[in-house]
Amino acid sequence: MPHAIIRVERSISELVRMGAYVGKTRALMPLSVDGRGFFITAYEKPDSLVVKIEKTTRPEITDEIKSSVLNVAEKIADFLKGSVVSHNLRETGNRYIRCTRVVEKHGLSGLRVIVPRTPVEVEIGCGDGSFIVDRAVDYPDRFFVGFETSGRAITAIKRRITKSGVNNVAVFHGDAVLFMRLMIPNSVDIVHVNFPEPWFRFRRIKHSLSSIRVAEEVARVLKIGGIFNLRTDNYPTAVASVTAMSETNVFKPVGAFYITVSGGRVGTKFERRWLRKGRLIYSVDLEKCSVYGGSVDLKEVGFPLRLEREFVIDGRVVFKVLGRYMGVGEEIIEVAAGDVLRTQHVFFGFRNGKFYPIPQSIFIMEPLFVKALLLASSRG
């Protein structure tokens, strides 16, 4: 994770005067880059201070983010009478890979240019590219855009594109949400997600492709009548995807059901793997039916919260206060809440005995998450 190490003479408790929220050994600094809020965290080591992105609030790392972190680290060092002694926040250039002549010519702005002209399909998490490249061969009059975070997978896709000779595919290396934000609204015909990472490992929750942050971008970039298609061998993933997509209020199922057992095949590596193991493949097919008007206003949610209740377990429900950070006039609290198998790690603002959502934390109001909040706020 990108970070800077600084040597300082003063304690982090003084950072509250810089607008930070300070806990026992850690401080959180709110920041906004590209219109998105996130936290930078600073924590004390025996002889230094580490400054880095709070990863639960900003999983995608861009050059802009790195330079913001470095900037804040330098300000903190200055404020605490110290200096940055090392960091890995150098800019690395654009994080996308140009795979076609069109994109090579226009760069990322080319994405805006190309998109409205021909039918466009997007694949999120395109892995080794087997699906998107085969589809590009089958539909030469369509344009395909793939997003993939794994560098190794990107190398495999490039090889596949070169071998097949297609020139209607562009693959971008990085977080799909970041790239979808660069695409113009109502411009994509189909968004495919094939076998996203399943949810059941704690460390993967924040990267889930079935989250509201992904759903909101899909809702924004799809045309009216455009299709969202997700395939998975993991039923809870299908349910989570439907839940997140439904929060945008613009989707209806293509057929009679939100989730069906899929008969057709997409031929990806993961599909082959799960079919070999005899698993069922589920399909979520949704149609965008009205204009997407923006994000759900979570600020309306506000619960009185009993902070002395450190841990609540009621069957499968967990609520745990992980940290409290004092700011000027308000606090930030760090909470693990929700289903014991899929606990969400979030930050809330806290003022006058009530807590409220803040832009730095994204979460899904799934039933057990809401139940955890209610239990924490109402039980004696």
Ligand X SMILES: C[S@@+](CC[C@H](N)C(=O)[O-])C[C@H]1O[C@@H](n2cnc3c(N)ncnc32)[C@H](O)[C@@H]1O
Region near ligand X per CB under 6 A, out of 44-52, 75-83, 146-154, 355-363 = 146-154
Query: Is position 176 an interface residue for ligand X (rule: CB under 6 A)?
Result: yes
Q: Any idea what the Cα angle at residue 356 is, between residues 178 and 35, rounded to 5°?
A: 25
- DSSP notation for 256-300: S-SEEE--S----HHHHHHHHTT---EEEEEEE-S-------GGG
Nearest distance from residue 237's CB to ligand X, in Å?
10
| Closest CB to ligand X among residues 8, 122 | 122
Task: Out of 54, 121, 175, 247, name the contact with ligand X by CB under 6 A.
Answer: 175
| Closest CB to ligand X among residues 23, 127 | 127
Length of the chain: 380
| Closest CB to ligand X among residues 157, 317 | 157
| Closest CB to ligand X among residues 15, 124 | 124
Can you tell me the distance from the alpha carbon of 86 to that of 7, in angstroms, rounded to the nearest whole number?
10
Task: Out of 115, 120, 124, 157, name the contact with ligand X by CB under 6 A.
Answer: 124
Q: Which residue has the tokens 């113009």?
A: 184
Q: Which two tokens stand for residue 178?
A: 């970041």
Query: Is position 195 an interface residue for ligand X (rule: CB under 6 A)?
Result: yes
Query: Is position 157 an interface residue for ligand X (rule: CB under 6 A)?
Result: no
Task: Out of 41, 56, 168, 194, name the contact with ligand X by CB under 6 A.
Answer: 194
Q: Tell me, by CB under 6 A, how many residues bind ligand X.
A: 21
Enumerate the β-bridge partners of residue 33.
Answer: 36
Query: Is position 150 an interface residue for ligand X (rule: CB under 6 A)?
Result: yes
- DSSP notation for 73-113: HHHHHHHTT-EEEEE------------SHHHHHHHHHHHHH
Coil, strand or helix: which one is 157?
Answer: helix
List interacting residues with ligand X (CB under 6 A): 124-127, 147-150, 153, 175-176, 194-197, 207, 209, 268-271
